[in-house]
Amino acid sequence: RQAQIGVTGLAVMGRNLARNFARHGHTVAVHNRTAAKTRDLVATFGHEGDFVAAETAEEFVAALERPRRLVVMVKAGAPTDAVIDEFAPLLEPGDMIVDGGNAHYLDTRRREAALRERGLHFVGCGISGGEEGALNGPSIMPGGSPESYQALGPLLESIAARVDGEPCCAHIGPDGAGHFVKMVHNGIEYADMQLIAESYDLLRKVAGYEPAHIAEIFRKWNTGRLDSYLIEITAEVLAHRDADTGRPFVDIVADRAEQKGTGRWTVQTALDLGVPVSGISEAVFARAISGHADLRAASASLPGPQLPELHPDDAARFADSVEQALYASKIVAYAQGWHLMQAGSAEYGWDLDLGTMATIWRGGCIIRARFLNRIREAYHRGGEAPVTLLADATFTEALRDAQVGWRHVVSQATALGVPAPGFSAALAYYDALRSDRLPASLVQGQRDFFGAHTYQRVDREGSFHTLWGDDRTERPA
């Protein structure tokens, strides 16, 4: 019998994805470099659906109906190239290689171009939701040609998460577009996690609440506009106690955050494209600071203010302000992420539909949230898409309502010596965008002074240079 789809690379992600396809009634060919994993999959989960186990690459390719749909779920980087090199010679024009790993979008662009030359479709496909999502319904972001999506889309949509009957899967755009938006998704995830972590820190240090109490606050927030998977799991983690010591779990975990690199890629890309993603970069740097045990030890005796004891009424009011700061900062972080997707789309000619990402991130992925419905509406209102999400009426209003509490939290954090880089950077971005004049005019003056870099004037067209070292007259440049 012929399989509709094949999965090669059967570690946690590939195995769960293959099971997900099989559970949805598809015949799935399975293959792994080390064949024991293939046999183990079929022995353990064979009853869940129709699997065709292949020991060799040739057997695997022969098991697939044409055009072949071959999903690669191996470690990103060199292993992906090795697998492509192994399979491409066995495939025929019109066949599709789908890379479901966390590839860098520039690698995907390179691979897509090379395989297109050989008549093969290469689909760089972002998959979010971790191993649980891969099994029960991930958010899926396939790039590649529209033609490949016609053949692949229905299969992918059948295994994706669903929200309000809509699959969390859509064709994103050509070549690296799928992996690009997956990268930005992860960058936004970093920012969201950092903002939530800052909220916890302030509630603990300034309001003086214990983790169990803060868990209750997050549970309450999760019934409102902040309703999201990340808020929900935060409450779970904060409520958890360590079995050995009976202490709050957050107090026995070493405070050094790790990272696998997609946040870093997001920031590197944003720097290359000139897009300010300060919410994401502060989140990446906050993890980096936490990991520098040497710097922290050397700085432990630096002076700071004393933390006060707040009256319970003031603490409760402060907690409300933290909710406002969190919501406002989250709007900024998401607006920055969307700006990056807009810039990527322009740079690479992808013609991304910016509302689509809000639609397919509502389920299956880590940043799933009620909030994404509002972003989706902002881009699907008809007429011109907003230049920035901050300028969309829904968000403008929310920011207007939140800004007093937001400023209060940032000023308290500063006055009391509690680091809140995410909140502060988001507020600075907000204030910079709404400023009538920025001190960039002075920076231009400095640049013209030391490097004759020229400047433009507010009152006349053209570029100018002042003869700073001479009589300080102005010349057209």
Residues forming the site for ligand NBP (CB under 6 A): 9-14, 32-34, 37, 73-76, 79, 82-83, 101-102, 127, 130-131
Task: Write down the H helix ranges in 63-145.
Answer: 78-87, 105-117, 130-136
Name the β-bridge partners of 379: none
Confirm if 72 and 84 have CB atoms less than 8 A apart. Answer: yes
d(CA 98, CA 8): 10
d(CA 422, CA 286): 9
Minimum separation from the CB atom of position 313 to ligand NBP (A): 44
d(CA 386, CA 408): 29
Residue environment code for 1-20, b if the CB has 16+ CB neighbours within 10 A, otherwise e: eebbbbbbbbeebbbbbbbb
Q: Which of 37, 58, 166, 189 is catalytic?
A: 189
- For ligand NBP, the closer of residues 41 and 413 by Cβ is 41
d(CA 448, CA 446): 5
Find the residue with minimal CB distance to ligand NBP: 101
Q: Which of 37, 55, 147, 182 is catalytic?
A: 182
- For ligand NBP, the closer of residues 13 and 163 by Cβ is 13
- For ligand NBP, the closer of residues 18 and 191 by Cβ is 18
Residue 22 DSSP SS3: helix
Which amino acid makes up residue 61? V
Confirm if 124 and 105 have CB atoms less than 8 A apart. Answer: yes
Minimum separation from the CB atom of position 159 to ligand NBP (A): 14
Feature table: binding site for NADP(+): 9-14, 32-34, 74-76, 102
Minimum separation from the CB atom of position 75 to ligand NBP (A): 4
- For ligand NBP, the closer of residues 32 and 194 by Cβ is 32
Which amino acid makes up residue 285? F
Confirm if 448 and 465 have CB atoms less than 8 A apart. Answer: yes
Feature table: binding site for substrate: 102, 128-130, 185-186, 190, 260, 287, 447, 453
Specify whether 112 is catalytic.
no
In terms of Cβ atoms closer than 10 Å to its own Cβ (0-12, 13-18, 19+), residue 303 is exposed
Minimum separation from the CB atom of position 76 to ligand NBP (A): 4
Specify whether 205 is catalytic.
no
Phi, psi of 248 (to 5 degrees): -55, 135
Q: What is the DSSP string of 171-195?
A: --BSTTHHHHHHHHHHHHHHHHHHH
- Other Cβ atoms less than 10 A from the Cβ of 368: the count is 24
d(CA 319, CA 56): 59
Minimum separation from the CB atom of position 101 to ligand NBP (A): 2
Confirm if 184 and 345 have CB atoms less than 8 A apart. Answer: no
Catalytic residues: 182, 189
